[in-house]
């Protein structure tokens, strides 16, 4: 205790005349000024969320901003509240890497009925950010329709009930990437449990020469738990990428397991066959154009080889264990004058197969990100 009081009573370096800390103060003030300029420069166009109040609220649960501090991409602002926690590790990256990492974590191990979880991201000019997760995102059905209001509608942590109706779980991402910047969204898969209703909306705005890599994937649920495959009520996931305010990518998928959507007596699980994982990969912008070309060539070679062998016949084979198929599309240069892009779609019987594929084709990104994607953990 005495040592703590002694340190508290000693003058800090910034209180001493002629301190070398004056330079640090100047740097700090310059950093604050830069952050203010970034905040003033970035104007989120929320026209996509104008009629979606829940997605807009979801994006307000956490914020990550990256700016250049002393020549390095640095997380200069980080905020989160229930049900999101954000971790910003600095270790585990290659020396000299110029990319920040942030992990989005769901409190309680997953999202429950009625949760609104999301993030606003600002990647400044010439900056890099990896947005990852620490494990599979689980989406639960909460019995009784109870929801957590995050303290906004009453006392902190209050629980409310909504009759017997299960509320929709909403996730959203609103991101802006500045000139020469790179955003890599590299989550683990989302696992949606029986009777859950899940909706995810991602809108990414790129500057004319901004770049992004966006992975989005779903698994069939708790496959080993009473064969609980594709047993959720609904999953609606959408990703939109805009360049200089113009939409160039809309990647969307809606899966319904509701009784009224049974077709010809086949449930969603029946129609999905042996597919237990679906994933998409969007790559766009000059910083990933060359890699995107390589990935598209890889996907087309894989698809050609698969069609020469058994094609997608494994989808209707209940005993299939190693089924995998990938297709690829090119985003032409006319859609984005600053570089072509690609969209890949993966189908597989097991998430590890897709994980291995992503790790293989995205490995060259390690030079820019500071760690190879999907290779254990990145920053730690």
- pTM across the whole model: 0.82
Distance CA 352, CA 373 (A): 14
pLDDT for 107: 86
Beta-carbon contacts of residue 266 (< 8 Å; ≥ 6 apart): none
Secondary structure element (H or E) that encloses residue 343, with its range: strand 341-348
Q: Where are the alpha helices (DSSP H) in 135-224?
A: none
pLDDT for 92: 73
The closest alpha carbon to 354, from 235, 211, 189, belongs to 189
Cis peptide before 83 (omega within 30 of 0): yes
Binned at pLDDT 50, 70 and 90, residue 228 comes out as confident
pLDDT in tens, 329-339: 998 766 556 56
The better pLDDT of the pair 310, 69 is held by 69
Strand, coil or helix: what is 357?
helix
Is residue 196 scored above 60 in pLDDT? yes
Residues 121-134: what's their mean pLDDT?
96
Distance CA 45, CA 253 (A): 23
Mean pLDDT computed over every residue of the chain: 82
pLDDT in tens, 23-63: 444 454 454 444 444 444 444 555 557 678 999 999 999 99
pLDDT for 321: 86
Pairing of strands 197-206, 169-177: parallel
Distance CA 46, CA 30 (A): 30
Distance CA 178, CA 190 (A): 28
Region class of 9: left (phi > 0), else alpha (psi between -120 and 50), else beta: alpha
Q: Where are the alpha helices (DSSP H) in the chain?
A: 2-9, 21-41, 53-59, 268-272, 289-309, 351-362, 366-369
Is residue 6 scored above 80 in pLDDT? no
Say if CB 185 and CB 173 are below 8 A apart. yes
Structural tokens at position 1: 């205790």
pLDDT for 2: 39
Is residue 103 scored above 50 in pLDDT? yes
pLDDT for 41: 42
The better pLDDT of the pair 160, 68 is held by 68
Domain residue extents for the chain: 21-369
The closest alpha carbon to 219, from 180, 242, 178, 188, belongs to 188
pLDDT for 16: 31
Region class of 372: left (phi > 0), else alpha (psi between -120 and 50), else beta: beta
């Amino acid at each position: 205790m005495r040592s703590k009081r002694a340190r508290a009573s000693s003058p800090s370096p910034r209180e001493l005349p002629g301190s070398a800390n004056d330079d640090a103060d100047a740097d700090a003030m310059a950093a604050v000024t830069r952050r203010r300029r970034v905040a003033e420069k970035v104007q989120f166009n929320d026209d996509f969320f104008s009629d979606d109040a829940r997605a807009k609220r979801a994006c307000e649960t956490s914020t990550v901003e990256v700016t250049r501090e002393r020549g390095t991409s640095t997380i200069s602002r980080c905020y989160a509240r229930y049900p999101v926690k954000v971790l910003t590790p600095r270790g585990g990256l290659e020396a000299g890497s110029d990319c920040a990492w942030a992990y989005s974590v769901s409190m309680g191990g997953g999202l429950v009925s009625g949760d609104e979880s999301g993030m606003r991201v600002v990647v400044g000019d010439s900056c890099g950010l990896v947005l990852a997760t620490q494990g599979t995102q689980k989406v639960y059905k909460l019995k009784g329709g109870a929801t957590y209001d995050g303290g906004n509608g009453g006392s902190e942590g209050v629980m409310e009930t909504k009759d017997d109706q299960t509320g929709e779980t909403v996730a959203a991402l609103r991101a802006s990437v500045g000139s020469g910047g790179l955003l890599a969204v590299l989550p683990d898969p989302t696992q949606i449990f029986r009777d859950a209703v899940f909706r995810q909306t991602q809108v990414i705005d790129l500057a004319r020469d901004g770049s992004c890599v966006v992975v989005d994937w779903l698994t069939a649920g708790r496959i080993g738990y009473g064969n609980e495959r594709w047993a959720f009520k609904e999953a609606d996931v959408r990703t939109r990428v805009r360049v200089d305010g113009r939409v160039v990518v809309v990647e969307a998928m809606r899966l319904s397991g509701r009784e009224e959507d049974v077709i010809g007596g086949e449930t969603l699980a029946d129609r999905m066959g042996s597919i237990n994982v679906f994933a998409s990969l969007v790559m766009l912008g000059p910083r990933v154009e060359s890699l995107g070309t390589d990935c598209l060539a890889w996907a087309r070679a894989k698809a050609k080889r698969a069609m020469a062998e058994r094609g997608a016949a494994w989808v209707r084979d209940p005993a299939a264990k190693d089924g995998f198929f990938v297709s690829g599309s090119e985003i032409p240069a006319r859609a984005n004058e600053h570089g072509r892009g690609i969209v890949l779609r993966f189908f597989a019987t097991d998430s590890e197969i897709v994980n291995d594929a992503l790790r293989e084709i995205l490995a060259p990104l390690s030079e820019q990100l500071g760690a190879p994607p999907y290779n254990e953990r990145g920053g730690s």
